[in-house]
């Protein structure tokens, strides 16, 4: 096997693509020349020193009855399940505390003194992430939310929680069978000819098994909610909500960060993930969008079998294909991978306004090239909804990146902000220009492996992109930091949209290195004509 490397500009859709020879091989290594910005946890709360001034104290007294009422009602809704989770939380807290204490003990024996990362204790990014992992499914999901929301959380936490993986041991098949019998209300073999006892995937919330339907003998996948998961989520999210309410009460400055509102959004989003009726609805909405826009020959989403789907069980058509990062397999399925990527982009961009919701997790495991050449969109547990106003501003933002028009970029970000503050747009534009000038200095290496078979002269070319997830948010972390310095706050869908664009950027570098996503006329970013779909269904 031969390998070679080529440096290419990072985030090429932002600037331009360099030609990538077919004989090169990429292993993605990102080097940043920009200086990391220091962050001290306590500096976030420096403005709260006047908390107990007479005015603040009066406001606190007035808000106390509402806080107590909220806590009591939340506790009632949680019920006895909260006691068990509290005990598990205490155990996890003690475990991570012991880790921290052991690290402290090692550091105190050193002449260098206590490292900065140990000083905030269990509230430091590293130990908080470790605590979340010990607490299980809910907190792993919360960690992933933090990792994907740089508009809401400090960069050190966003980067650390990139390491919060969603891989858990599988639930024994006997328990899965028990859930299936309970949910379906009849013997399993009356619905499925066969259910593979070995799961295709096991995440923190659900487990997926391959199966074959009775009668039609169609291949399907069954997504099963893990036992007790809904109770755990409700208990955990209610606890997080109460903590947020108390923190905001004790420090009114935090209300400016919309902490309670963020927690409410997280709670609503995560509870949607454990209600497979809602995921089924998301899938069906996307399939209707494809049909209404005459896109079913270009893309698809799995058909949902309603008669064997419930709140905790989702039976879907099994799609066969490969992720968009599997260049070797893609080249064997289609002659023009670039055309397939353009199709995926147009279908996804079209869904932003023409569908009830857009797919908000298009990583390689959820976006496939199918054997029949169509693009397959999988797993609609995480979706986003965007208002026309926000998308109009987003379009201007993307267009301004493509032509490096920083004045328009600044204006679009100001328009996207939820506040009504007076912003010095020209100064803001100059600061954005400084951010993007550092991006041009970033390097990436993509390594493509070439190999020849022992009995043939044919050379096979394969490639994949290995990405350090902590680098995924580097671009808009800087953009958000500059924006926040002007008092700007963005809606959550801004981060969701940019996250998906960075995923598509990966696929572009691999499948179409000469393609400029934001300037190519074959890619329809603008929303012209997308109202046809909504007109038909409203």
Q: What residues are annotated to the active site?
A: 361
Dist CA 91 CA 372 (whole Å): 51
Q: Look-up: residue for tokens 């939820």?
A: 418
Nearest to 327 by CA among 314, 337, 341: 337
Strands 313-317 and 459-463: unpaired
Q: Please report, for residues 10, 138, 460, 487, 518, the alpha-carbon distance to residue 515 in angstroms, rounded to integers and kept in the order given.
A: 14, 39, 23, 35, 9
Q: Do 294 and 287 touch, CB atoms closer than 8 A?
A: no
Residue 58 has a CB neighbour count (10 Å cut-off) of: 10
Q: 323 φ, ψ to 5°? A: -65, 155
CB hemisphere CA count around 412 (13 angstroms):
20
Q: Look-up: residue for tokens 């946890």?
A: 41
Q: Look-up: residue for tokens 């900065």?
A: 116
Nearest to 39 by CA among 150, 131, 185: 150
3-class secondary structure per residue, 227-260: CCHHHHHHHHHHHHHHHHHHHHHHCHHHHHHCHH
Nearest to 321 by CA among 376, 361, 362: 376
Q: Is the dihedral of CA 69, 71, 72, 78 positive or negative?
A: positive
DSSP 374-402: -EEE---SSEE---HHHHHHHHHHHHHHH
Q: Do 260 and 248 touch, CB atoms closer than 8 A?
A: yes
Residue 530 has a CB neighbour count (10 Å cut-off) of: 20
Nearest to 135 by CA among 163, 98, 96: 96
Q: Look-up: residue for tokens 């295709």?
A: 200
What's CA 380's distance to the chain center, in Å? 12
Rounded to the nearest 10 degrees, the angle between the axes of helix 337-354 and helix 492-511 is 170
Q: Look-up: residue for tokens 């789907």?
A: 309
Q: Do 216 and 318 touch, CB atoms closer than 8 A?
A: no
206: helix, strand or coil: strand
In this structure, what is the dihedral angle of CA atoms 48, 51, 54, 60, given to the nearest 10 degrees? 130
DSSP letter, residue 39: -
């Amino acid at each position: 096997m031969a390998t070679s490397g080529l440096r290419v500009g990072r985030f090429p859709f932002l600037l331009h693509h360099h030609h990538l020879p077919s004989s090169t091989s990429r292993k993605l290594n990102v080097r940043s020349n920009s200086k990391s910005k220091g962050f001290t946890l306590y500096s976030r709360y420096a403005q709260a020193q006047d908390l107990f001034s007479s005015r603040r104290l009066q406001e606190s007294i007035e808000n106390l009855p509402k806080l107590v009422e909220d806590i009591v009602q939340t506790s009632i809704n949680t019920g006895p399940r909260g006691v068990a989770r509290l005990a598990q939380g205490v155990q996890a807290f003690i475990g991570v505390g012991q880790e921290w204490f052991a690290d402290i003990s090692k550091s105190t024996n050193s002449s260098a003194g206590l490292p900065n990362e140990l000083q905030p204790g269990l509230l430091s990014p590293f130990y908080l992430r470790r605590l979340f992992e010990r607490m299980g499914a809910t907190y792993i999901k919360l960690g992933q939310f933090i990792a994907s929301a740089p508009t809401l959380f400090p960069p050190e936490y966003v980067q650390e929680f990139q390491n919060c993986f969603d891989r858990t041991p599988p639930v024994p098949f006997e328990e899965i069978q028990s859930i299936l019998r309970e949910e379906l209300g009849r013997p399993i073999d009356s619905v499925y000819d066969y259910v593979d006892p070995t799961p295709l995937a096991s995440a923190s919330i659900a487990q997926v098994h391959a199966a074959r339907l009775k009668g039609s003998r169609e291949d399907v996948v069954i997504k099963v909610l893990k036992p007790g998961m809904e109770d755990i989520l409700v208990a955990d999210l209610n606890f997080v909500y109460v903590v947020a309410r108390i923190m905001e009460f004790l420090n009114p400055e935090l209300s400016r960060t919309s902490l309670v509102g963020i927690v409410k959004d997280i709670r609503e989003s995560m509870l949607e993930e454990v209600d497979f009726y809602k995921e089924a609805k998301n899938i069906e909405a996307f399939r209707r969008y494809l049909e209404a826009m005459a896109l079913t020959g270009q893309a698809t989403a799995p058909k949902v079998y309603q008669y064997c789907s419930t709140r905790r069980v989702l039976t879907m058509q099994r799609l066969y294909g490969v992720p968009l990062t599997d260049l070797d397999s893609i080249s064997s399925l289609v002659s023009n991978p670039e055309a397939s990527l353009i199709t995926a982009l147009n279908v996804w961009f079209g869904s932003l306004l023409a569908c009830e919701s857009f797919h908000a997790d298009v990583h390689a495991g959820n976006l496939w090239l199918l054997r029949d050449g169509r693009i397959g969109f999988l797993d609609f547990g995480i979706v986003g909804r965007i208002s026309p106003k926000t998308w109009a501003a987003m379009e201007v933002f993307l267009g301004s990146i493509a032509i490096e028009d920083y004045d328009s970029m600044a204006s679009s970000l100001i328009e996207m902000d939820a506040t009504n503050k007076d912003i010095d747009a020209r100064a803001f534009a100059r600061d954005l220009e400084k951010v993007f000038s550092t991006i041009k200095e970033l390097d990436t290496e993509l390594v493509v492996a070439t190999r020849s078979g022992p009995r043939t002269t044919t050379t096979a070319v394969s490639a994949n992109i290995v990405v350090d997830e902590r680098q995924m948010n580097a671009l808009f972390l800087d953009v958000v930091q500059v924006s926040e310095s002007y008092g700007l706050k963005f809606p959550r869908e801004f981060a969701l949209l940019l996250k998906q664009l960075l995923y598509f950027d990966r696929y572009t570098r691999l499948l179409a290195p000469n393609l400029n996503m934001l300037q190519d006329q074959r890619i329809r970013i603008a929303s012209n004509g997308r109202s046809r779909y909504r007109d038909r269904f409203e």
